[in-house]
Structures are given as C-alpha cells and as structure tokens.
Structure 1
Amino acid sequence: MLQPEKMPELLGEFLARQQPTWRDVRVSSYEVMTGGYSRLLAKAVVTHSGGTVALVLRGDPPADKILIHTDRELEWDLVRVLNRHGIRTPQAHFFDGTGEHLGTKALVMDFSEATSFLPYAASGGSLDGLQGRLAEALASYHAIPIAELPAQMQRPASWDEYVSGRIDEWRRTADAHVEDLPILRYMAGWLDAHRPEPVPLTLMHGDFQSANLMLTHDGHFEILDWELASIGDPREDMGYFKAVAQAAPPDLLDDAGCELFCARYRELTGLNEIQVNPVTVAYFLVLGVIGTVRRLLEGGAAYARGTNHLLGSVFNMNSVQFGHSMWLPTADALGPVLDQLAAAARQSA
C-alpha cells in the first residue's frame, strides 16, 4: 500500500494465495481513497473465475506519517467478531499481519455500497427517524458479550475502576503535555464529583461519529473504522458522537433528538431513565473526548520534536481549542442536574 503503482500485482498475488478457489485473479483497478484519518485506504476491483468483487484495503502508513498508534491485528480480530454477530459493518476477509505481501499490515474487506452519512445529510437528506436507527446501531454492538471479544482487549475489573481511570487520564494528559493546561485538571475534578449511575461495561467503538457511519438503502446505519475500540461505558460512544457533531453537524442528539434516541436505547437495552438520558449523554460528551485529546496533543508534540511530519497534527490542535470552549459551559450547566439525578438514584436504591 505504500507503493500504489505496485499494488495491483501484489494484491493479485496475495488474493490468489489467500483464496485458492479464485482462479485467474486480476486487479482491474486500484485507487487510493481519501478520507482515511489515520490509516491508508484503497479500493480495488478484482475479477476472478467466479466473478467480480470490490474490496477495501486498510493499512498502516509509514512510521513517520502515523497520526495515532493502533493495532491492526486487534482490529482484524474484532471485526471478525462483529461479522459473526451480524453487526452492520463491512465483512473482513483477509489480513496481512506482517506487511510482507501488501507492504504494510493491512485488512482486506468488502467495499460498502451504502451512502456516506455526512454527504447525505449535507445534501438535504431526511433525518426523520434516524435517532432511533442510531440507538439501534449502538445497542447492536453494545450487546456483544465481553467474553466473546478478542482476548487482547483490556477488561476493567469494575465500572468504578474504569471511570476512575478515564478521569485520571485527564490528569495524566495534563502532566505529560509540554505546556501547562490547567483546564484538564479542573475538568478531572468536576468529572470525579459528578459521576453518574453506573451501567454494565460493554464494547465501545471509540470513534463513533457521523464520519464513520454509512446509511444503507433500507435506512440503517453501517459502522466503519473500529481501530479505537475498547471495553468501557457504552454512554461514552453517545457523548463522543454528540461532541463531534457540534463541529461536524448534523447533531442527531440535539434536544429533541436526544430524548428520542435515549428512549429507544433504553427500550433495546433495559437500562433505566436515570442511567441513560440527555444529561448523562452530555456528561460523557466531556469524559469521552479525553482519549482523542490525548492523542492529538501527542501528535502535536511529536511534530514539534520532528518525529512526526504530518501537518494534520498541527491543524488538529484547533480541535483541542474548540474543546476548551465547550467543556466549561457544559460543566456549569450540567452540575446541578447531575446532582439531582444522583439524589433520585439514592432515593430509588
């Protein structure tokens, strides 16, 4: 994938080895795809004795062009689990785990014929009913038993341990950054003082946003890009979606939409109204962005040190500044309501 001009031959040889029932394999087209945020993406059209198939290759960039470090083997193992559970995500077929055949570690999966959600929305596509579809998409993979997820995924011992670790990540990020960012420590204290009611831990996508969603012909969401997946509080995916939607609309979880979304999600999962509501979604809007903030700050620092040559690492620092403008007003507005929810939870216990 690092040398696109060689890929038709390399991919054809790789597929012939991986799928011996395919005879006369020929890569009729190979195109580098735009839109890959942290990985190399390409579309290949392959003909063989049984027909024609469109595939996507997703692989690691060169070491000095890596924006964030993630594990292709873990992504491969996880997507195979998702495929077995019928989650709406492209089918993964092959994996070059060493880079020996495709030039870098890479997954080979189906090309999705669904419509990218952001262009669909930008062109005026109807958003009616999509809050419920969003809840269904999240609930589908949140329901996968943790025991069936790849063994290399870290399992927190408890909800309290997990949330404490996520809050401490704000403090660790502040400590590790090259300049002082007191807002990170302030937000850690606020998050600690306003913890919501716990819920069972589940698989989290980790980058659940409109840019990673496709809309199928029958109106369901298909989910892409699982490289940041982990095990944690499922409400982080909700909060992260809402956070990104502030900068890249539409926000399906606006005031009215969030109520519809939460009601459908509770119906599908059995969680209660104290656990899943617009206020807890907003709490996780703040908590859930720290992983991305940390990676963006690390990318900017690596660029300054000369170990990362991606101009995007500098540009992405704007996203951190945008976050600053959101966190404090959100904390001021949510604090009293979260206190009320905590009191209601104590009364019902």
Structure 2
Amino acid sequence: MVTTKTAAGIAEQLKALLAARAPDRGVTDISVESVEGGYSRTTWVATINWREGSMTTHILRSDPITDTGPFRTDRDREWQLLNALYEHSSLGIAEPQWYDEKADFFEAKCLVTDFVSGGTLQGLLTAGTDLKTGAKRLMRTLAAIHAVDTTKLLLDAPASWDDHIAGVIAFAERLASRAGSSLPVMGDVVGYLRHNIPEPAPLTLVHGDFQPANILLPPGGDPLVIDWEYARIGDPREDLGYYSIYPVPPNLYVEDADTVLEEYRKASGLSEAQVEPAAIDYFCVVSNLLYFQQIWEGVAALETGQHGVMSALLIGTLSHFNNQFSRIVRDRDHSLSVR
C-alpha cells in the first residue's frame, strides 16, 4: 500500500483497488484531484481511463488519515445504506461502485461512487433563483427522502415515536450531566425538551445533514442527494430543524419560514399542527444534539493539543449552536403545550 496524501499516491491506491475489484476491465490511466470544502471526510475526484477506451469519473470518500477531528461516523454503515438506497428506492443518489472496507488499498476505509456533473441547489439559490421556486425544489426533495421505504434500509429504528423522543431526552440528560458548567445551556435544554414535546409524526428516513449543498442538479435530470453519513430513522422534522439554522446564505427558512413549511406540508402530507415553527425549533435542538456533543468534545480536546488545525471551526461552531439553543429555550414560553 502506498502511504501518501498526494493525488499521485491516491491514484496508485485506486489503481490497486481496481486491479482487485475490476480485474477484467484494465486501467490505463487515472487522474485524481482533491475536493475542497468538507471537514469531516477526505474527498477526491478520480477520472479513470479504461483499457477498452471508455472513461469514467468517480468520487472517493474516506476518513482523514491524520486528525479526524471529533466527527465520528461509520463507513461500513454508510456503504450499506448507499447500496440499499440505490437498489430499493427511487430516490436519486450517485451509484456506489467499490468499497475498500478493510483499508487494504487506501490508508482508511474508502467509498467510491459515480461522479455526478452539474451544480448544487445551493449554487442555484446563491445565483438568485426566486424563493418560491427554491423552496419548492428543496422541500420536494426533502419529502422524497422521507417517503423512502425504510424496511429495506437495514437501519436501526426506534420502537415508536414516543420511544424515540424519550431516547433523545435521555441523550440530552447524559450530555448535560457530563458537560456540567462548561455547557450551562444544556440544563435548560433538558427542561425544554421535556416540557415542549410536539405533535407526533410518522418515523421516516432522516438525512441528518440536509442542506442545499448536498443536493446535486444534473443537467436534464432529477436531483441527487449526497453525504449520507449521518442518516438514521427518526422524526422527519429533524431535517427541517437542522436546515433552519444552516449558516450559509441564502437560508430559505430564515428568509421565509412560512413558505418553506407550506411547501413541505404540500409535499409530505403532514398537517399544519405537525409542521409549524415551534415544532421545527424543537427538532432543531433534537437534530443538532449529537453535533453539539461532538463539537463540545472537540473543543475540550484542544486543551490536550488535539484537533489544533480545526480550532477556529470548532470554537465558532460551538458558539453557533450555543446561541441557537439559547434562543430557542428562551422563547419556550410561547412554544408548544406539554403533551
């Protein structure tokens, strides 16, 4: 195995993988470029020239080789989900191709999927598409995710919606106990989660990192959704809550929450009692608790010299979550009634 983080080294590692996984095709040349922007995974785009004369382009995703930061996800689980989604749902995703599940060829487990040309919905919004059109495309995509038949996905699922919420509250209680005075907002968060439980909704597939940058728009085709590492079974409003504080403008929810929620209700069939601002605030907290814990752990680890390259990101993100949680908890007096 070549030990390197260079494009040439990644190309050699990919060539070795293909010699084992696609020996009949034969590779004549591979070119590789790094993809900037992600902070939890290492991403490369590779163009492969095959012996018979064809050319294909792919995305490689793996854990960082050096400092992985506090963001911990499971490549085996992600690979299993990608294949299940591709085989058993009509949802658009990039086709999974090969997986180095034991890091035999790369320095960490590595997923290889097809590359999809075209821009992202985030790019379209930034270019100035009108809010109504943008909200409709975004919410239709989200509703399609939530309509996937979860029985084929092999993901762990809560026994019921009530059990799911009870589990979330228990998670928040553990985090509050661990963090103590270093995260004082968590004491208020626990009380908020206990006393502002919204109307239930059917459990669905939750993307876990739902944002317009993760929606690809291939020319002439349907949208494709990428970056499934945080996917799970949960309440569909968790994705709405996550997006509601997405810090990259334009955030359509921040600009016009009523339009976004109306479009989601139309696309999903959920009621106005289920999909309204106080419920989205509740699930904003629910959907971000794991990230909040990981960021808090990452900031604490800075004191021991870990994650130094990510210090500004970690501190800034912890402040962002703390401010948003404080805002939601502060406004709880006019939120939902206790169930």
**Which residue does 1:204 correspond to in 2?**
206
Map of 2:12 onto structure 1? 9
Q: Please tell me whether the aligned partners of residues 64 and 309 of structure 1 are also in contact (alpha carbons under 8 angstroms).
A: yes
| Alignment root-mean-square deviation, CA | 2.4
Instruction: Check whether the contact 1:7–1:30 (CA below 8 A) recurs between aligned residues.
Output: yes
1:187-198 equivalences under 5 Å are 187-198=189-200
Tell me, in whole angstroms, the C-alpha distance in 1 between the residues paired with 2:187 and 2:215. 33
Deviates more, 1:87-96 or 1:217-226: 217-226
Cα distance, 1:240 vs. partner? 0.2
Q: Report if aligned partners of 2:196, 2:335 keep a CA contact under 8 Å in 1.
A: no
Distance (whole Å) between structure 1 residues aligned to residue 318 and residue 191 of structure 2: 19
Asked whether the 8 Å contact 1:93–1:109 carries over to 2, the reply is yes
Deviation per CA, 1:182-220: give whole Å up to 9, x if none. Answer: 211101101210100111111111111233233343585
Q: One-letter code of the match for 2:264?
A: Y
1:334 Cα offset (Å)? 5.0
242 and 2 in structure 1: CA distance in 2 versus 1, 3 angstrom threshold: farther
Q: Please give the alpha-carbon distance, in whole angstroms, between the structure 2 residues aligned to 1:10 and 1:322.
A: 39
**Stretch of structure 1 that moved more, 48-57 or 25-34:** 25-34
Offset of residue 131 of structure 1:
1.1
1:264 corresponds to: 263
Do 2:244 and 2:253's aligned partners in 1 also have CA atoms closer than 8 Å? yes
TM-superposed CA distance for 1:71, in Å, is 0.7
Name the residue aligned to 1:249.
249
- Out of 108, 118, 121, the position equivalent to 2:122 is 118
1:294-333: per-residue Cα shift (whole Å, max 9, x none)? Answer: 1111122233233x33421453222221223233333344
> CA 1:12–1:202 in structure 2 vs 1: closer, same or farther (change >3 Å)?
same
Residue 129 of structure 1 is aligned with which of 120, 128, 133?
133
Q: Which residue of 2 aligns with 1:293?
A: 292
Q: Please state how far the C-alpha of 1:178 moved relative to its aligned partner.
A: 7.3
Distance 2:99 2:30 in 1: 20
User: What is the rounded CA distance, in whole Å, between the counterparts of 2:220 and 2:190 in structure 1?
Assistant: 42
Q: Give the corresponding residue for 2:158.
A: 156
Alignment of 1:89-100 (within 5 A): 89-100=93-104
CA distance in 1 between partners of 2:309 and 2:272 (Å)? 44
In 2: Cα distance, 1:67 partner to 1:132 partner? 34
Shift of 1:252: 1.5
SS of the aligned residue for 2:336 comes to: helix
Match of 2:324 in 1: 326
Contact 1:202 1:234 in 2 (8 A): yes
- Map Cα deviations across residues 59-106 of structure 1 (whole Å, 9 max, x no partner): 111264343111101000101122121322221111010110122200
Matched, 1:71 2:69: no
* Counterpart residue number, 2:309: 311
Structure 2 gaps of 5+ residues are none
Deviation at 1:232, TM superposition (A): 0.9
Determine the C-alpha separation between the residues in 1 that align with 2:289 and 2:193: 12
- For residues 17-96 of structure 1, the aligned pairs below 5 Å read 17-23=20-26, 25-48=27-50, 49-62=52-65, 64-84=67-87, 85-96=89-100
Determine if contact 2:15/2:30 at 8 Å carries over to the other structure: no
TM-score normalised by the chain length of structure 2: 0.89
Compared CA separation, residues 251 and 217, structure 1 to 2 (3 A): same
Q: Quick one: distance in 2 between partners of 1:337 and 1:297?
A: 27
The residue aligned with 1:146 is 150
Q: Which residue matches 2:108?
A: 104
C-alpha distance in 2 between matches for 1:331 and 1:183: 9
Q: Distance in 1 between matches of 2:259 and 2:183?
A: 37
Would the aligned equivalents of 1:82 and 1:141 in 2 still touch at CA under 8 Å?
no
Residues 1:226 and 2:228 are matched in the alignment? yes
How far off is 1:253 after superposition? 1.7
**Does the 8 A contact of 2:69 with 2:310 survive in 1?**
no
Q: Is the 8 A contact 1:44 1:55 kept in 2?
A: yes
Identity among equivalent positions (%) equals 32
How many residue pairs get aligned? The number is: 334
Secondary structure at 2:49 match in 1? strand
Q: Is the 8 A contact 1:97 1:106 kept in 2?
A: yes
Task: Give the direction of change, closer, same or farther, for the CA distance of 1:220–1:252 in structure 2 (3 Å limit).
Answer: farther
Residue 40 of structure 2 aligns to a residue whose secondary structure is coil
Structure 1's unaligned 5+ residue stretches are none
Aligned to 2:182, the other structure's residue is in SS state coil
Query: Structure 1 stretch 174-183 or stretch 198-207: which is displaced more?
Result: 174-183
Contact 2:298–2:307 (CA under 8 A) maintained in structure 1: no
Distance (Å, rounded) in 2 between the aligned partners of 1:70 and 1:47: 32
